[in-house]
Structure 1
Amino acid sequence: MTRITIFPLTGAVLYPGLQLPLHIFEPRYRAMVSDALARDRRIGMIQPQRPAEGAPLYSVGCVGRIGDVEALEDGRFNIVLSGLSRFRTLRELDVTTPFRQVEAELLPEDESAVLAPIERASFEREARRFAEAQGHVVDWDQVGRLDDVSLINGVSQIAPFDPAAKQALLEAPGLVARCELLVQLMQFFGRTRDDDDEGATLQ
């Protein structure tokens, strides 16, 4: 078990091995960054279940380490978090700090996980369809050089899905399960975007 300072932010999901740039401007989160820099530089990204003050949290997040830091003259920060490990919240702690803290267990990652060639090909095919439908320009040669974990987690982190879908991807139990869910979500959001200009939501 470990104590983690958390940054609840709807739609912001971090994965181990990936980076997340953040602009920190609220006083409590400026205090959070200052505290983290003075200690272990760790902050846990986790989504609230609804965008409200003190809202319940989803159970799974990802702890990251602050790498690049730009401290602005007015007290704001620009930081880059590098993902270290997913975690599961066990309980929220009663604290006097302006920012929230939890007791959590770190979740192991299978760093050697790979997709079967047919799974990789199926994913890339669906990703091309989805990107074209969304009007995104993608360097597919660069995509082809990514390892399976970086590819699936990277797309999961940046995909334009709703918060519930992004949370489901983060909680997926392993690379293959996350890849399968990602394909399903691209198909779902791709179809509904075609049918409804306002898009769709899983919430």
Structure 2
Amino acid sequence: MDPRPFHPRLEDLPRILPIFPLPGVLLLPDGKLPLNVFEPRYLALVQDALAWGRVFGMIQPQKTPVEGEEAGPVFDTGCAGRITAFSETDDGRLLVTLTGVCRFKVVEEVESNRGYRRVAADWEPFRHDLEPAPDISVDRRRLMAALKKFSKMHSLDINWKAIDAASDLALTVSLSMACPFEPPEKQALLECREAEQRAATLITLLEMAVAEYKGGPRSVRQ
């Protein structure tokens, strides 16, 4: 039985992709990202996505916008997700779970629709994201040593039993998405070619953050 019966095929993915630019937010293939959607343009994006295949892209702006300003140019690489759960709230918000499907390259930005931005997407460089990922081997000793120090630095509430039970691949995906790294570091994790490379990069970022710690947390986006 297919473990991902609703997963789209390459030919199912749209050429013109709605995007949701958010700094410091990372979506990876097979990762699950909760979103609290309240801006009118992004409510429109989600409503349109629900009607057109449930797919839209998460991508980071190249520079974090000042509050109240529009996000500027985005990075060249993002990750599309499929809406796998959503609920409406009485105050007009949508609570969405977006499951990562496939990364994409931005060919160009095209005309916006109903206030939200759209890009022409090239899926070909990441078509392997659509295949079930084989598990990987992670140096758990190094990872756990760095993660314990990093979590203490940032007062992170971590379910250590769940971490012990997770596969190396699932752990790499969830920690890469959840750890409060800076946007360029999140982008580096996204752009790793394979999961093994991402796991090594994750450990390096954790160890670098611990080594740079000087008695107080770095300025990070939570």
Q: Tell me, yes or no, whether TM beats 0.5.
A: yes
Instruction: Give the root-mean-square deviation of aligned CA atoms.
Output: 2.1
Corresponding residue SS for 1:100 = strand
Provide the C-alpha distance between the structure 2 equivalents of 1:200 and 1:136, rounded to a whole number of angstroms: 15
State the AA in 2 paired with 1:146. A
What's the CA shift string for 1:124-165, capped at 9, x where partnerless?
332233234444353434312211211111100000111111
Q: Are 1:143 and 2:163 an aligned pair?
A: yes
Provide the C-alpha distance between the structure 2 equivalents of 1:127 and 1:10, rounded to a whole number of angstroms: 23
Q: 1:80 deviation in Å?
A: 1.1
Q: Are 1:112 and 2:134 an aligned pair?
A: yes
Q: Which TM-score applies when normalising by structure 1?
A: 0.87
Paired residues of 1:90 and 1:105 also in contact (CA < 8 A): yes
Structure 2 stretches lacking a partner, 5+ long: 1-13
State the AA in 2 paired with 1:61. G
Provide the C-alpha distance between the structure 2 equivalents of 1:198 and 1:148, rounded to a whole number of angstroms: 27
Structure 1 stretches lacking a partner, 5+ long: none
- Which residue does the alignment assign to 2:84? 67
2:180 to 155, 160, 166: 160
Q: Which TM-score applies when normalising by structure 2?
A: 0.80
2:216 to 187, 197, 200: 197
Provide the C-alpha distance between the structure 2 equivalents of 1:32 and 1:167, rounded to a whole number of angstroms: 23
Q: After the TM superposition, which of the residue ranges 131-140 and 11-20 deviates more from structure 2?
A: 131-140
Which structure 1 residue ranges, 4+ long, deviate > 6 Å from structure 2? none
Paired residues of 1:143 and 1:151 also in contact (CA < 8 A): yes
Matches within 5 A, 1:46-195: 46-52=59-65, 53-106=70-123, 107=126, 108-109=128-129, 111-115=133-137, 119-193=139-213, 195=214
Count of matched residue pairs: 198
